[in-house]
């Protein structure tokens, strides 16, 4: 399997070339979790994997708690399905806490302090009260824990998420709020650790494959030993692919029967298609430079599975302006494929979109 076949298979498994989901939560059940610190971009990432999605539809699902946004893997935001949040936290939270333990010490946050904060937060959010970060800062200060430092406050709330005390609430006047996890999510079946590990491993390699063990360790934040155990537990559902002395894993129906015509995607910043791999040489292709490697944290033009430039959306009075910066002159077929994605972006926002090359 060469690099073109790898990216073709990933486009299919990530449902970018074959979007077939009807609801945002279906996407999350497929992926396990999707990185989501850029909320607006993450909504577009969900929409690209769906048959016909609009911004209001995804916003409604978020506000109703049908999809959640919390810290669950690596110390960053992820979208996750409500029925997955508890077993996933049980599997990954300890690793996140270990990774940021030095920050806890730096801000003098110990177990006793976290317990006091958890009690204060739980008391004020009871009976489906939803408060934003500024409100919770006041509550925590009143409980005798200094929370005026925004980074210290962020770590207090992050720990409350990792401990399963809070999760995302609805947006109120476009402000993010927090809710009690036990009130936001019905109690779900408890999974044994090996069940959780097998489930996360299978989901990753099914939705992101072909991918390496190293990629999975990066994405999940698990130890190499746990990642290897996960592969053993999920082995019967996966297939091994060896190319250029590199071992990849994927679902057994990894490669579609035919190669598609010229394909294009306008990916948001931190999209799973790029950010979810430790080794990104397949998607960078011949464009592997410091400039392109920095693009993985920005909005990318993807042509036939590889990074081909950057794009940026901005609002005009009557339209959304999409400024496109390809690395090199494009063929007519490539411009046509990008044009279809621009039209799709307009339908997502229910707005006229004007491209600017």
Query: Does some domain include residue 256?
Result: no
Rounded to whole angstroms, the Cα distance separating 283 from 208 reads 13
pLDDT digits (tens, 9 = 90+) for 2-30: 888 899 999 999 999 989 999 999 999 99
* Residue 302 contacts residue 282 (beta carbons within 8 Å): no
Same domain, 68 and 120: yes
* Residue 274 contacts residue 283 (beta carbons within 8 Å): yes
Q: Exposed, middle or buried, 14 (CB in 10 Å: 0-12/13-18/19+)?
A: buried
pLDDT of residue 256: 57
Query: Does some domain include residue 258?
Result: no
- Domains contained in the chain, number: 3
Pairing of strands 300-303, 238-243: unpaired
DSSP 8-state secondary structure symbol assigned to residue 146: -
* Residue 206 contacts residue 13 (beta carbons within 8 Å): yes
Query: Does some domain include residue 327?
Result: yes
Same domain, 53 and 180: yes
Q: Exposed, middle or buried, 40 (CB in 10 Å: 0-12/13-18/19+)?
A: middle
Same domain, 110 and 209: no
Query: Does some domain include residue 235?
Result: yes
pLDDT digits (tens, 9 = 90+) for 161-180: 999 999 999 999 999 999 99
Give the pair of three-digit tokens for residue 55.
Answer: 């911004």
Same domain, 140 and 215: no
Same domain, 331 and 310: yes
End residue of a domain, out of 184, 207, 226: 184
Same domain, 24 and 120: yes
Query: Does some domain include residue 59?
Result: yes
Question: Which residue's entry shows tokens 């979007």?
Answer: 19
End residue of a domain, out of 184, 213, 231: 184
Could you tell me the pTM of the whole model? 0.94
* Residue 169 contacts residue 177 (beta carbons within 8 Å): yes
Same domain, 21 and 163: yes
Same domain, 290 and 340: yes
Same domain, 143 and 288: no
Domain with 301, as residue range(s), is 264-356
- Asked, as a colleague might, if the bond just before 210 is cis with ω within 30 of 0, I would say yes
pLDDT digits (tens, 9 = 90+) for 23-60: 999 999 999 999 999 999 999 999 999 999 999 999 99
């Amino acid at each position: 399997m060469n690099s073109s076949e790898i990216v073709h298979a990933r486009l299919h498994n990530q449902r970018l070339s074959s979007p077939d989901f009807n609801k945002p939560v279906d996407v999350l059940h497929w992926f396990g979790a999707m990185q989501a610190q850029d909320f607006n971009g993450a909504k577009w990432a969900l929409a690209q994997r769906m048959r016909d999605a609009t911004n209001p539809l995804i916003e409604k699902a978020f506000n109703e708690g049908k999809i959640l946004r919390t810290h669950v893997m690596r110390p960053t935001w992820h979208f996750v399905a409500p029925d997955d949040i508890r077993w996933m936290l049980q599997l990954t939270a300890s690793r996140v806490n270990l990774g940021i333990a030095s920050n806890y010490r730096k801000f003098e946050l110990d177990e006793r302090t976290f317990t006091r904060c958890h009690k204060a937060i739980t008391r004020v959010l009871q009976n489906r009260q939803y408060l934003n970060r500024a409100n919770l800062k006041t509550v925590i200060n009143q409980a005798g824990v200094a929370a005026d430092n925004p980074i210290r406050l962020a770590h207090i709330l992050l720990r409350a998420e990792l401990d399963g005390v809070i999760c995302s609430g609805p947006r109120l006047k476009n402000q993010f709020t927090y809710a009690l996890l036990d009130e936001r999510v019905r109690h779900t079946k408890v999974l044994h650790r090996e069940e959780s590990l097998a489930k996360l491993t299978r989901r990753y390699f099914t939705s992101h494959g072909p991918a390496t063990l190293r990629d999975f360790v990066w994405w999940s934040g698990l130890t190499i030993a746990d990642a290897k155990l996960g592969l053993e537990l999920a082995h019967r559902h996966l297939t091994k692919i060896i190319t250029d002395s590199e071992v990849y894993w994927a679902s057994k129906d990894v490669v579609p029967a035919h190669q598609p015509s010229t394909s294009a995607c306008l990916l948001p910043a931190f999209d799973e298609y790029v950010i979810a791999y430790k080794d990104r040489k397949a998607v960078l292709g011949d464009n592997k430079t410091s400039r392109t490697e920095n693009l993985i944290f920005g909005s990318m033009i993807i042509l036939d599975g590889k990074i081909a430039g950057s794009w940026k959306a901005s609002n005009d009075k009557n339209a959304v302006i999409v400024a496109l910066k390809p690395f090199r002159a494009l063929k007519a077929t490539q411009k046509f494929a990008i044009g279809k994605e621009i039209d799709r972006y307009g339908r997502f926002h229910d707005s006229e979109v004007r491209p600017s090359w």
